[in-house]
Structure 1
């Protein structure tokens, strides 16, 4: 298959493609009137409106309900190696201008106009996640161009690992895969973020190994704890211990991190040792939903409580159940905060939109008989850019509140 050959035209139904025309990158199967010409799934196509007006160029996969993903909206765009190099360079230049690039997300799918592709940089290692057939076929060229762009900037990469093991690949007609791209290397990578050292397991850690999107939210908690000097901090859904370690580094007296995964707890404990914090940052393997009521019953109270749960919903159909989960953990977490203490709480589900998340926290505060004073509201780090035309790119909501008893 010629990667850059474009023989077919996808024609949009009259009145369809509203999201695409508003700046989005997706065309669903029920928006397509006809496909003219020969094509292979994963190949490039020209996209036209019902009247023949060119809407752009992208790749097609009729096995997926999300049938076309747009690479360019320009009528005269030529998708080739030069085009892909320009996309990669633009993504890297943006990171250099906005974030600490020692470890960062270098490519964030649709928000970097390379739909379906994620590339994270952990020190001198790249981790790749490919979620669409078309981008999967272009992936070798994109990675080659990325390595060249980084090398020209003096950034040498010692290895690339692929974590394309998400279930969504099955919907694209692809197998789930993880493994080395190129020569094998030690998949335990040490990074430094906000002055905290971490060992990132790019082979077996969650997602690509570490959640870079919370970088500056962790720093916000570190700054709060440095000013507050809290005696006790509780970090729920701690994963590799990141919020807990930021609190410990800032001088918190005793920090407890909780996660249901024993692997995560072991990694977090290892990270505490790495930072010389094992005397006051501890980790517990437990179900947070079971633990919080027990801590409340036992009369435990904390100066700072942090809630960083996984996404409780990945579809619109399960939002109601997710709301119950978010309301429950926030209610329980609020009851554990001392009067005048602080709560950091977040949601990483795109479907839990900011308005609904805010409403859910408000209901939890009412149920816990607490008054909230907002310190700050944040989203994901700038290396996970929010593209206003792509709603799915805005997913992380993060609040810090001061919590006061009703008076």
Structure 2
């Protein structure tokens, strides 16, 4: 029996045809043939022209996720092994692979699949029904490819507990794939050691995407008084400490994150200079301003304030407010590092929002650098969702 055929409406499929990986429900004219959600289907344009193969899921607005632009491609173990090898070979060229994102969804042509490597542990997040069927095969293939480079994986943990799975009609899943192992994993990045909690940490346990942005702030922090807002497990704060900051205050609203950050400071012998506080950043910054506190470097690494287009207006207010408050705390000639990890808060909007905050704070900004996510989170052009992290470093001057 042949594969079902998804045919597009006339004039639709612009994203797919420009290099993207998704077909939305409102782009589809007909689905001919029988299928079960998660199956592989053929994709045709309105006139029957073949556009490739992908996974179908009628529960999701993203009804088809592309796997191959060639209709003749056989989707089997050989196909996935080639993609796994390509992903790993790329990482070896562009990042420190001791800990890195090995597979980044659509940007590595694995729609809906994320695999992070923390030292000798893999953490897997499967967010699409079609790829879920192949998840364990892909993990085994990855272990095989890593073993060829002398890397023995001692454990795999699944963190498919993101709410977005419900949009695919899938249950949230969390737990070991294979034998159990201690879920606190020690890693080293930029000469800083961390205990990563792969079981209960946010997302897959640690934000690898900021690796080289954390390194970029080190040169600014020698002998500096540093404030790190939304510190999570202390990553920017510890990079400041290891670079020789005179004092660092890391702030986060999560008591669990602050405890872990303090443990990470002890792990690096930095507990005398790097302190952590469990507070709401939006409440703390005005208090520090009132006390006329000043810092040489202020770092803002907030969670995504918006995960949909509908809440952008509120997100803009949030980003404007924290940047305004932070700018007032930077001493003349000091530095602000500020970022957004929300895909919907795009580069133009984020840049404009910081500009508004600077005008309101009566500060002039000199851009030191603009950065995005680390290259193990590659940005696939035409797959806009793969470009999400915006990171600025500014020198802050008064406008007088």
Which TM bucket (shorter chain)?
over 0.9
The answer for the alignment partner of 1:31 in structure 2 is 27
Give the deviation of 1:223 after TM superposition.
2.2
* 2:236 pairs with 1:243: yes
**Which residue among 108, 111, 115 is the counterpart of 2:111?**
115
The aligned residue for residue 182 of structure 2 is: 186
Map of 1:165 onto structure 2: 161
- Are 2:42 and 1:49 aligned? no
Q: Secondary structure at the match of 2:134?
A: helix
| Conserved 8 A contact 1:161-1:181 | yes
CA distance in 1 between partners of 2:94 and 2:51 (Å) = 30
Task: Quote how far apart the aligned CAs of 1:389 are.
Answer: 1.4
Q: For 1:201 and 1:108, locate their aligned partners in 2 and report how far apart those are by CA, in whole Å.
A: 20
SS in 1 for 2:220: helix
Aligned residues: 400
| Structure 2 residue ranges without an equivalent (≥5) | none
Q: 2:310: which partner in 1?
A: 317
Q: Distance in 2 between matches of 1:373 and 1:28?
A: 42
- The alignment partner of 1:284 has SS state of strand
3-state SS of paired residue (1:372):
strand
Partner Cα distance (1:356, 1:95) in 2: 31
* 1:60 aligned onto 2:56: yes
SS in 2 for 1:234: strand
**RMSD of the alignment, in Å?**
0.8
Task: Give the counterpart of 1:83 among 57, 79, 84.
Answer: 79
Q: How many angstroms does 1:140 deviate by?
A: 1.2
Q: Is the 8 A contact 1:6 1:46 kept in 2?
A: no
1:44-103 deviation digits (Å, cap 9, x = unpaired): 111111111110101101111111000111232111110000011100010001000000
1:130-152 alpha-carbon deviations (Å, 9 max, x no partner): 00000001111111111111111
Residues 219-239 of structure 1, C-alpha deviations (whole Å, 9 max, x = no match): 00112224xx21x10000000
Aligned match of 1:402: 395
Are residue 154 (structure 1) and residue 147 (structure 2) matched?
Answer: no
* Residue in structure 1 matched with residue 260 of structure 2 by the alignment: 267
Give the match's secondary structure for 1:78. Answer: coil
Aligned-partner Cα distance in 2 for 1:67–1:290: 42
Describe the superposition over 1:241-280 as per-residue Cα deviations: whole angstroms up to 9, x where unpaired. 0000000111101100000000000000000000000001
Distance in 2 (alpha carbons) for counterparts of 1:148 and 1:11: 38
Which residue matches 1:7? 3
Give the ranges of 4+ consecutive aligned residues of structure 1 lying more than 2 Å apart after TM superposition.
none
TM-score (norm 1): 0.97
371, 381, 384: which is aligned to 1:388? 381
State the Cα deviation string for residues 21-61 of structure 1 (Å, max 9, x = none): 11111011111111111111001111111111110101101
- Offset from partner CA, 1:318-366 (integer Å, 9 cap, x none): 1111000000000000000000100000000000010110000000000
Aligned to 2:342: 349
Query: How much has 1:6 moved relative to structure 2?
Result: 5.7
Does residue 92 of structure 1 match 2:85? no
1:6, 1:129 → 2: CA distance? 31
CA contact (8 A) 2:220 2:297 kept: no
| Contact 1:6 1:43 (C-alpha < 8 Å) held by counterparts | no
Match for residue 199 of structure 1 among 174, 182, 195: 195
Matching of residue 283 in structure 1 with residue 279 in structure 2? no
Once the two structures are TM-superposed, the CA of residue 153 in structure 1 deviates from its matched residue by 1.4
Instruction: Classify 1:202/1:51 alpha carbon distance in 2 versus 1 (closer, same or farther; 3 Å).
Output: same
Which ranges in structure 1 are unaligned for 5 or more consecutive residues? none
What secondary structure is seen at the aligned counterpart in 2 of 1:269?
A: helix
Q: 1:136: which partner in 2?
A: 132
Q: Take 1:122 and 1:144, find their aligned partners in 2: how far apart are those partners?
A: 17
- Tell whether the 8 Å contact from 1:55 to 1:74 is kept in structure 2 after alignment: yes
1:7 aligns to what SS in structure 2?
Answer: coil
Q: Match of 2:329?
A: 336
Distance across 2 between alignment mates of 1:270 and 1:122: 18
